[in-house]
């Protein structure tokens, strides 16, 4: 049985971020084991996030935009981001970057094994894999069993953000590298929130992604048909090649994710509630959460910190999630009004849960009141 100070169960976005911040902290000499069932040598996702600050991952930002496009039947606008930028990091670059950084620390080790159990013990926790048992004072886990969460969230609102995307290459230069198309609602809504986003990689290459907020997933063919239709009738492209494809599901729920799974087992990542319930944006929230965990560890305190939204934002998200669930077709108008009536700083601060009550009220009062009133009453009664 191998003993460690910390075991990180799951070496994805949150696990590797935690390891990265640990290696840059006063705990850099701790004995750390990172366990993942995958080798993480494929580009299994790309992360988009906005920020007004430099990040520690600056050197691996693949694409950066200073404008976003918002297109719906209510408005068609290109919005300059001011002090913000919209950044895109490729999963594979992130995995390689963190692993290469950690290779300078002989006390950080990786194994590729499948974890079957994590149990609390008297003085720490043990991780059981298909090949062995490992113990540590603290175990941090991002392993996420959706079925378990759906069961625990039975009395809550539970939607999924599900999306399928293609990286396409065209023979002619057609994409504008200055802007990311964040929302394009020009697709049949089917009383759900459905939109496309387009992330240009070069003038003739872009990720085109079809995104839906709803309870159930579609058939594979339905995503493909919508993608094909958008590319031909909206982007007006016939001559293109599909270079890569992506599929993902992110939980969108007002279930309060537990911060721990035992006295010495701490949840991180989506498993801890780092996915914003009403938007699915997770990457930037993970960074904030795991940094706080490292601070607690440095102070010699138990690293138990909630990644869930503060109660005020939890309530706003619940009201919006309820609209998305019952009448998702209204989302095109709701999001359009938000982007028409507020400036980008106000919007990003609200979405980042940072703007303060005046900013919250400014955003909330700019939205159509009736759906929110009905949804609030519905949740109350
Ligand atoms: C395709 C896709 C695109 C996304 N795009 C964005 C985006 O643009 N912006 C954004 O903010 N968020 C995005 N997200 C949401 C979120 O940022 C990611 O899901 C993020 O990877 C979550 O981090 P995590 O650490 O919680 O989980 P992961 O990164 O999924 O890490 C969990 C790790 O646990 C490992 N694991 C699972 N089970 C076991 C087991 N039994 N034994 C050992 N290892 C195991 C997995 O292999 C994985 O490496 C996206 C999600 C997906 C799926």
Atom 53 in ligand 1: residue holding the nearest Cα: 248
Query: Around 96, how many Cα atoms within 13 Å sit in the side-chain half-sphere?
Result: 12
92-120 b/e (C-beta count within 10 Å ≥ 16 → b): bbbbebbbebbeeeeebebeeeebeebee
Q: Residue 305 has what pLDDT?
A: 96
Distance from residue 12's CA to the centre of ligand 1 (Å)? 6
Atom 26 in ligand 1: residue holding the nearest Cα: 269
- State the chain's maximal CA–CA distance in angstroms: 64
Q: Residue 355 has what pLDDT?
A: 87
269-301 b/e (C-beta count within 10 Å ≥ 16 → b): bbbbbbbbbbebbbbbbbbebbbebbeebeeee
What are the percentages of helix, strand and coil residues in the chain, rounded to 5? 35, 35, 35
Residue 23 and residue 26: Cα distance in Å, rounded? 8
Look at the block and give the residue holding tokens 């693949």.
62
Q: Residue 2 has what pLDDT?
A: 83
Distance from residue 45's CA to the centre of ligand 1 (Å)? 8
Q: In this structure, what token pair is assigned to residue 362?
A: 């400014």
How far apart, in Å, do the first and last CA atoms of the chain sit?
Answer: 53
Q: Residue 142 has what pLDDT?
A: 98
Q: Residue 1 has what pLDDT?
A: 60
Q: Residue 333 has what pLDDT?
A: 98
Bridge partners for 165 per DSSP: 209, 246
Q: Which residues of the chain have pLDDT under 70?
A: 1
**pLDDT tens readout for residues 200-258:** 999 999 999 999 999 999 999 999 999 999 999 999 999 999 999 999 999 999 999 99
Ligand 1: which of 47, 127, 279 to mutate, judged by most atoms within 8 Å of the beta carbon?
47
Residue from 85, 102, 147 nearest 11 by CA: 102
Atom of ligand 1 nearest to the CA of 91: 21
Q: Residue 282 has what pLDDT?
A: 97
């Amino acid at each position: 049985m191998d003993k460690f100070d910390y075991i990180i169960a799951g070496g994805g976005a949150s696990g590797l971020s935690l390891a990265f911040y640990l290696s840059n902290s006063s705990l850099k000499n701790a004995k750390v084991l990172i366990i993942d069932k995958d080798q993480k040598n494929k580009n299994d996702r790309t992360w988009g996030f906005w920020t007004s600050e430099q990040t520690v991952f600056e050197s691996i930002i693949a694409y950066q935009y200073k404008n976003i496009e918002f297109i719906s039947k209510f408005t068609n606008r290109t919005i300059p981001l001011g002090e913000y930028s919209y950044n895109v990091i490729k999963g594979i670059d992130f995995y390689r970057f963190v692993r290469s950084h950690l290779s300078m620390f002989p006390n950080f080790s990786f194994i590729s094994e499948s974890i079957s159990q994590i149990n609390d013990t008297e003085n720490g926790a043990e991780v059981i894999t298909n090949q062995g048992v490992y113990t540590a004072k603290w175990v941090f886990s991002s392993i996420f069993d959706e079925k378990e969460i759906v069961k625990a969230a039975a009395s809550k609102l539970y939607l999924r953000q599900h999306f399928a995307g293609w990286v396409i290459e065209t023979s002619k230069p057609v994409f504008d590298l200055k802007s990311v198309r964040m929302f394009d609602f020009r697709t049949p809504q089917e009383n759900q929130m459905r939109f496309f986003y387009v992330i240009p990689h070069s003038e003739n290459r872009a990720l085109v992604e079809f995104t839906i907020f709803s309870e159930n997933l579609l058939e594979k063919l339905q995503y493909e048909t919508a993608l094909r239709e958008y590319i031909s009738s909206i982007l007006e492209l016939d001559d293109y090649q599909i270079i890569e494809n992506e599929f993902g599901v992110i939980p969108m729920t007002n279930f309060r994710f537990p911060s721990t799974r035992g006295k010495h087992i701490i949840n991180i990542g989506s498993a801890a509630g780092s996915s914003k319930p009403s938007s699915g944006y997770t990457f930037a929230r993970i960074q904030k959460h795991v940094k706080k965990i490292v601070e607690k560890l440095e102070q010699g305190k138990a690293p138990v910190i909630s990644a869930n939204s503060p109660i005020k934002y939890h309530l706003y998200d619940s009201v919006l999630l309820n609209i998305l669930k019952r009448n998702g077709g209204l989302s095109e108008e709701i999001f359009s009004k938000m982007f028409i009536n507020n400036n980008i700083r106000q919007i990003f601060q609200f979405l980042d849960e940072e703007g303060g009550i005046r900013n919250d009220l400014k955003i909330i009062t700019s939205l159509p009141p009736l759906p929110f009133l009905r949804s609030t009453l519905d949740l109350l009664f």
